[in-house]
Chain A
Amino acid sequence: MQALLSIYAWTIAASTILGSALALLGVQLAARDRAMQTMCIGQGAMLGVLVGIGFFLGFEATPALSAAGPFALAFAASALTYVVSERLASRHGASTNTHFAALFSALLAGGYLISALFPALENHMAQRYFGDLATISRGESITALMMGLLIFTALCWFQRSISRDSFAVAILGSKASTTPTGFLFSLGTLLSICFCVQIVGFLFTVACLFLPTSILSFSRNAGLKSHLITCALTAGLASLSGFTASLWFTHLPTVPTIVALMVVFAILIKNLVGQRVYKPA
């Protein structure tokens, strides 16, 4: 077991930090009621990744090009999805979630169509959806750890201004993307989702983004910092313990184990956290 832990040390560290960072990002996206739009963007990124993989499977490319190509296509596809979804959301014909659900179904069908165009893509598609952290290379793990640290630090550093934008978007109907911080947040979100879908898979990305904040939003505890800390803690703990558990019990799939533990930890932490953080003087 110790040998396994040392082999996967970088991957465990990467999934723990990346999970926590995604949980912080998910709080803000959920606060802006953009969960369904994020699913679309993730699916758009998936489409780009699949096209990229299918294209580069056709000839021998360098490892760097094999990684950068799908990422670039994922970014282009997710950016296009973002633009289309924003245009749909700005129309008032139906609820935004209805538009997003329709877009998601179209992108999902697109992904499956692409897998039919390229031979041997179905295995890649399953891996990108459900992920297998144990198959990530050492180089990818280190990159993921760096990316996780970057997202985590940025979200902590700009926590107040991002939360202010989220509040203004949700409660006052402001358009955050028109401000410089709003634009940077949207760009950072797109890049983070593309990276995570490509490296750790769609399920891990979406679960870390929305599971902790969804369950912990039921907490009676009124406090921004408390919510952010408990969400990051839940995702980080679940990634760490889920990965370790899947190494210990080899028949357990890694990402579903992490997701199951995330649900358990979120419920436990929700019930453990006290009534109130702020106390009037």
Chain B
Amino acid sequence: MTDALPLLVVRDLAYDAPDGRRLVAGLSYDLMPGGIVAITGPNGTGKSSLLKIIMGELKGARGSVTFANKSVGYLSQLHNREFHIPLSLADVLSLSVPGRFNPAAATALGLLTAEELGLAWNTASGGERQKTLLTQVLMTQPQVLILDEPMNHLDSVTRGKLYAVLRDFVANGKRAILMVCHEKLITSDELRPTSIIDLSQFSSQSSDSQN
């Protein structure tokens, strides 16, 4: 694993909040194949902003972000819950999968059942929607998974299933995960991240105090 090239390289990243407050300065890390990197920190430290900057959805950051290839699956937090078109959960999954949608492949991941695929998105629970979005991003078979609080809305049983899915995802040593999650989940034995980035260590206040 030491000879492998990083799948994502972040160098000297710095970015501000929309009101001009410096959130993060001097952040550098390499996401190596087989790694699960957990990003944590108190509210308002710019965890979700970091993922958006990495994905190119937020501009204005300094520093560099380089992916080894373009096979990246990204799941942000829910922006809205309701969707105007009355989609089924199967419809949501079929939108992102090239070719004909295979329900068996969707349920094989273990997050959704065949019965749940027929549910309407707008009346499904928060957990069912989150499982659908996670299944959707996993079905695209990316090399790098970038997840923003993927455990939101999930009960303990489903969280356990997701931990297993994520561990399987990186088990072949060729893929990696970068995820924002709460500290209490990081400390659980089930997730086992290979490294943890506490964003509060990269805030301007902490940089000033270190200087």
- Chain A residues packing against B (C-beta within 8 Å): 27, 30-31, 33, 92, 160, 163-164, 166-167, 170-175, 178, 213, 217, 219-224, 227, 276-281
Instruction: Check: B88 CB closer than 8 A to any chain A CB.
Output: yes
Binary A-proximity of B51-69 (CB < 8 A = 1, otherwise 0) = 0000011000000000000
- Picked from B79, B84, B103, B118, the residue with its CB within 8 Å of the CB of A173 is B79
- Chain B residues packing against A (C-beta within 8 Å): 18, 56-57, 75-76, 78-81, 83-88, 90-92, 94-96, 103-104, 114-115, 117-121, 133
Docked CA distance A140–B120 (Å): 42
Q: Determine if B78 and A172 form an interchain contact, defined as CB atoms under 8 angstroms apart.
A: yes
Identify 10 residue pairs between A and B in the complex whose beta-carbon atoms are under 8 Å apart, listed by A's number: A163-B85, A163-B95, A164-B95, A171-B80, A171-B81, A172-B78, A172-B79, A278-B91, A278-B118, A280-B118
* CB proximity of A39 to chain B, nearest CB, Å: 16
Q: Determine if A31 and B83 form an interchain contact, defined as CB atoms under 8 angstroms apart.
A: yes
**A281: which B residues are within 8 A, CB to CB?**
103-104, 114
- Picked from B78, B84, B94, B119, the residue with its CB within 8 Å of the CB of A33 is B84
* CB proximity of A157 to chain B, nearest CB, Å: 15
**A279: which B residues are within 8 A, CB to CB?**
118
* CB proximity of B177 to chain A, nearest CB, Å: 18
**List of 10 A-B pairs having minimum Cβ-Cβ separation, nearest first:** A173-B79, A222-B120, A222-B88, A280-B114, A164-B95, A31-B84, A224-B91, A278-B88, A30-B84, A278-B90
Q: Determine if A173 and B76 form an interchain contact, defined as CB atoms under 8 angstroms apart.
A: yes
Given the interface contacts A92-B18, A164-B95, does A217 sit within 8 Å of B85 by beta carbon? yes
Q: Determine if A222 and B118 form an interchain contact, defined as CB atoms under 8 angstroms apart.
A: yes
**A92: which B residues are within 8 A, CB to CB?**
18
**A171: which B residues are within 8 A, CB to CB?**
78-81, 83, 133
* CB proximity of B85 to chain A, nearest CB, Å: 5
**B56: which A residues are within 8 A, CB to CB?**
178
**B87: which A residues are within 8 A, CB to CB?**
167, 222-224
**A175: which B residues are within 8 A, CB to CB?**
57
- Picked from B75, B79, B86, B133, the residue with its CB within 8 Å of the CB of A219 is B86
- Picked from A213, A217, A223, the residue with its CB within 8 Å of the CB of B88 is A223
Docked CA distance A172–B55 (Å): 13
Q: Determine if B117 and A280 form an interchain contact, defined as CB atoms under 8 angstroms apart.
A: yes
Docked CA distance A170–B119 (Å): 19
Q: Determine if A227 and B18 form an interchain contact, defined as CB atoms under 8 angstroms apart.
A: no
